[in-house]
Amino acid sequence: MPSPPPLRVVQWATGAVGRYSLRNLINRPEFELVGVLVYDPDKVGLDAGPLVGLPETGVVCTDDVDRILALEADCVLHMPLPASYFGGDPSTDVETICALLASGKNVVTTTGFVYPRCYGPAVVGRLEAACLAGGASLHGTGINPGFMSDMLPLALTGLSSRIDHVYVRESSDFRGHPSRQIVVDLFGFTRSAKDYAAAVRPFRAFQRSLFAESVQFVAGNLDVALDEVEESDEFELASEEFEIAAGLVRVGTVCASRWTFSGLVRGRPFMTVECVYKADATKVSRWSDPGFTIHIEGVPQMTVTVDEISHGLAGAAAHAVNAVAALCAAPPGIRTLLDLPLATGRGTVRLA
């Protein structure tokens, strides 16, 4: 039988995660890159291939949203920074996604939407109406949320006869992260304690909504009604000066942070997600070492540890790219992790 035609895909944003995604799209024969949306004026007009160290593709980067909306495409990989980062209204992301869906394009996004019900019936109604108008589907994914704090814990609960508490911990090392926008402007590293408090205010709201989705998603699929999702965060100041890819961390500036999101039932946590971010894990001893830990407290007790993911950004991008084919084959609508076949790297295996 002849192979099916490649899926026509648009890459929306080419930041730290988007570049990994773009490289995947260009290298994999089951996809045809048909458009690239960029935010950096210096990238406009450039060929997409050299942007990620590959030969020219003939696809030129644009910042013209209407041009992207007019393209014939099966799917858009939507990977921008949250609108709140630019000082904009967070609902802008919903408006953009709705426009893409209504234009007939399926959307895989890494900006959240793992469990859109968290945002209330008005947002869900808008998304579903856009899906219906365009005959398209929406899927929110990534590595965390999108895999480590939702898909993997739910899979483990299949071995449980009783569940008392679900705990997920992520600890990430940003030493080699190239994006100053992410490391300094979003996470607040290298800033004074005073500047940090002001800088992360919009990010705090984004983090809360993002991880509330994971907590609500897991609880909802276990038939547990949460009363609320509680959030707390704290930071650590550097005791020595050191260099990271995104800049210089001076003594007395923020070098790490710890965020905790707990879904509560009658005041007790049913699910907790702890996120530790370090500017350089070799320089910050407080809190856990890099990696992921999932602990299911109940019968039986279970703990799964992933000691290291060497390229977390690549993992987030790959999980999104690997979901494209399944989403394009799905009926129109909002598709969560449990609505699609498990996204694997089956199309990317390379044997020596």
Domain annotation covers residue 346: no
Q: Per-residue pLDDT tens for 232-253?
A: 999 999 999 999 999 999 999 9
Q: Which residues contact 62 (CB under 8 A, 6 or more apart)?
A: 35, 36, 37, 38, 44, 45, 68
* H-type alpha helices, the chain: 16-27, 48-51, 65-70, 91-102, 121-134, 151-156, 180, 193-199, 201-221, 312-321, 324-329
77 and 201 fall within a common domain:
no
117 and 174 fall within a common domain:
no
Structural domain harbouring 15: 7-142+314-339
Residue 309 confidence (pLDDT): 73
Beta strands in the chain (DSSP E): 7-12, 31-37, 61-62, 75-78, 106-109, 137-140, 162-173, 228-237, 242-244, 247-249, 254-265, 268-278, 291-299, 302-306, 333-334
166 and 293 fall within a common domain:
yes
Q: Count structural domains, the chain.
A: 2
Domain annotation covers residue 256: yes
Q: Which residues contact 213 (CB under 8 A, 6 or more apart)?
A: 112, 113, 114, 115, 116, 118, 140, 145
Residue 235 confidence (pLDDT): 96
164 and 92 fall within a common domain:
no
Domain annotation covers residue 345: no
Domain annotation covers residue 348: no
| Per-residue tens of pLDDT for the chain, all 352 residues | 677 899 999 999 999 899 999 999 999 999 999 999 999 999 999 999 999 999 999 999 999 999 999 999 999 999 998 776 665 666 888 999 999 999 999 999 998 899 999 889 999 999 999 999 999 999 999 888 889 999 999 999 999 999 999 999 999 999 988 888 889 988 899 999 999 988 887 778 788 888 999 999 999 999 999 999 999 999 999 999 999 999 999 999 999 999 999 999 999 999 999 999 999 999 999 999 999 999 999 999 999 999 877 777 888 999 999 999 999 999 999 999 899 887 777 666 665 5
3-state DSSP call for residue 193?
helix
183 and 298 fall within a common domain:
yes
Question: Is the sign of the CA dihedral 265, 266, 272, 275 positive or negative?
Answer: positive
187 and 286 fall within a common domain:
yes
Domain annotation covers residue 344: no
106 and 243 fall within a common domain:
no
CATH code of the domain containing 105: 3.40.50.720
Residue 341 confidence (pLDDT): 84
Domain annotation covers residue 2: no
Count of other CB atoms within 10 angstroms of residue 344: 12
User: Which tokens go with 159?
Assistant: 């071995």
Residue 298 confidence (pLDDT): 96
162 and 68 fall within a common domain:
no
181 and 217 fall within a common domain:
yes
ω into 29 cis (within 30 of 0): no
